[in-house]
């Protein structure tokens, strides 16, 4: 069973920080160097200095810890007096349409994946896990929440949260760099907390974003036996809502040597049609993708063949990985991953091959997870991300 409960959130003191928008940041793994510099310049207390410190080598973890402790000592960051669960609302625009998403920030008891309570859906890399463990060992704090989703077909949590926020003011309001509105409320009423905790007991939680951080927290809990280390901060949101967007991560094969051979293989292994219209992920269903070989002036809309559908969960991301990326790994220098369709299309040259993939729906991912399988690395891009710096969770 999933054990979800409240915690004493560590957050920016609004008496010291007049504009919370200037101290929050995107998750560390989507920040490039230019954005890191911008965030550093926005405020001396921006969370980037903890989560993605610029100091060279392992000294950056010591510097992050020093700053965190200094901010706590100086009451730049203050800890709540009561254990609370925090409703988290986001309002944003995507492709000209407005969306809203509602969830909660709470702590969840960590458990091994084979217990089938916390469910991963993507492969992970060793490098980011080593980095996050060093940061966690230095700071002894969850700097940002893991993004989890759950089945909310009954809308019970949403009803509880909406009733609360309709009659209470948010404790935090901030704008992300990309213009997303973020609002946080605080629930410390024991009856409401008990109701939320009980609701999640039979639930499974799918990790949407933060696989590296979750596995790091699992390792940390095994090395540190105190009660606090046995929990990790999560943002939990229901799968059934318009504001849960699961976008693809497009692939570009760089410095391709023999794109003509790859194109011949694609024509042989997939149902294809020549394509001269707009290339848009919204035009694709889950078993389709666009293939672009600019050198040979080839643009194809591709579909998995009938006899391959079951092997690839009817998802082109699997077929592309096995039949193109893995099969021709000696034919290109590297794989570029692009969350933006426009960035991906603008990067394709006559020395590369482009693979434009479709969007996902939660049921696509669940059928993989429930089969004890994982999706290829960097498959999904849940949007929008959850801001870092709104709430932190001490592990001591």
User: Would the pLDDT of 362 be above 90?
Assistant: no
Note the pLDDT tens digit of each residue in 150-197: 999 999 999 999 999 999 999 999 999 989 999 999 999 999 999 999
> Cα dihedral sign for 54, 56, 60, 61?
positive
Mean pLDDT value of segment 318-339 = 96
Mean pLDDT value of segment 206-214 = 94
Note the pLDDT tens digit of each residue in 220-236: 999 998 999 999 999 99
Note the pLDDT tens digit of each residue in 22-33: 999 999 988 989
Given this model, what pLDDT does residue 391 score? 98
Confidence category of residue 364, pLDDT binned at 50, 70, 90 = confident
Structure tokens belonging to residue 306: 């009938």
Cis ω for the linkage preceding 286 (within 30 of 0)? no
Note the pLDDT tens digit of each residue in 98-111: 999 999 999 999 99
Given this model, what pLDDT does residue 67 score? 98
Given this model, what pLDDT does residue 367 score? 83
Given this model, what pLDDT does residue 209 score? 92
Note the pLDDT tens digit of each residue in 69-97: 999 999 999 999 999 999 999 999 998 99
Q: Into which CATH architecture does domain 4-245+383-394 fall? A: Alpha-Beta Complex (3.90)
User: Would the pLDDT of 369 be above 90?
Assistant: no
Residue whose C-alpha is closest to residue 148's, from 240, 214, 237: 237
Note the pLDDT tens digit of each residue in 291-320: 999 999 999 999 999 999 999 999 999 999
Confidence category of residue 370, pLDDT binned at 50, 70, 90 = confident
State phi, psi for 332 to the nearest 5 degrees.
-145, 160
Q: 314, 287 in Cβ contact below 8 A?
A: yes
Residue whose C-alpha is closest to residue 357's, from 267, 297, 282: 282
**How many Å apart are CA 276 and CA 271, to the nearest integer?**
16
**How many Å apart are CA 133 and CA 127, to the nearest integer?**
10
Percent of the chain with pLDDT over 70: 100
Per-residue burial over 254-268, b = 16 or more CB atoms within 10 Å of its CB, e = otherwise: eebeebeebbeebee
Structure tokens belonging to residue 17: 């920080």
User: Would the pLDDT of 125 be above 80?
Assistant: no
What ranges do the domains of the chain cover?
4-245+383-394, 250-356
């Amino acid at each position: 069973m999933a054990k979800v409960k409240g915690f004493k959130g560590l957050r920016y003191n609004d008496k010291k920080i007049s504009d919370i928008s200037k101290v929050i940041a995107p998750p560390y793994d989507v920040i490039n160097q230019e954005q890191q510099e911008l965030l550093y310049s926005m405020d001396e207390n921006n969370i980037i200095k903890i989560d993605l410190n610029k100091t060279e080598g392992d000294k950056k973890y010591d510097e992050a810890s020093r700053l965190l402790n200094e901010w706590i000592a100086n009451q730049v960051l203050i800890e709540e007096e009561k254990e609370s669960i925090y409703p988290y609302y986001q309002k944003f625009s995507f492709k000209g349409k407005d969306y809203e998403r509602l969830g909660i920030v709470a702590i969840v008891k960590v458990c091994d994946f084979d217990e089938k309570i916390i469910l991963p859906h993507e492969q992970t890399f060793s490098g980011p896990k080593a980095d996050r463990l060093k940061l966690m060992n230095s700071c002894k704090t969850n700097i940002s929440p893991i993004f989890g989703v759950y089945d909310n077909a009954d809308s019970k949590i949403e009803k509880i949260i909406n009733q609360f926020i309709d009659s209470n003011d948010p404790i935090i309001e901030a704008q992300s760099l990309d213009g997303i509105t973020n609002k946080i409320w605080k629930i410390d009423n024991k009856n409401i907390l008990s109701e939320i905790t009980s609701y999640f007991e039979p639930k499974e939680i799918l990790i949407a974003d933060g696989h590296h951080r979750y596995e790091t927290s699992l390792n940390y809990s095994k090395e540190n036996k105190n009660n606090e280390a046995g929990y990790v901060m999560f943002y939990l949101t229901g799968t059934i809502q318009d504001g849960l967007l699961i976008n693809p991560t497009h692939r570009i094969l760089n410095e391709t040597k023999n794109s003509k051979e790859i194109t011949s293989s694609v024509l042989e292994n997939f149902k294809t049609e020549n394509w001269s219209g707009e290339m848009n992920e919204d035009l694709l269903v889950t078993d389709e993708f666009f293939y672009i070989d600019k050198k040979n002036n080839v643009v194809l809309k591709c579909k998995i063949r009938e006899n391959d559908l079951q092997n690839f969960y009817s998802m082109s991301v699997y077929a592309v990985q096995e039949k193109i990326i893995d099969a021709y790994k000696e034919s290109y220098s590297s794989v570029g991953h692009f969350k933006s369709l426009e960035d991906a299309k603008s990067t394709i040259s006559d020395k590369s091959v482009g693979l434009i993939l479709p969007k996902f729906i939660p049921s696509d991912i669940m059928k993989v997870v429930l089969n004890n399988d994982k999706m290829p690395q960097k498959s999904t891009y849940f949007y929008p991300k959850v801001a870092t710096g709104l709430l932190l969770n001490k592990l001591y």
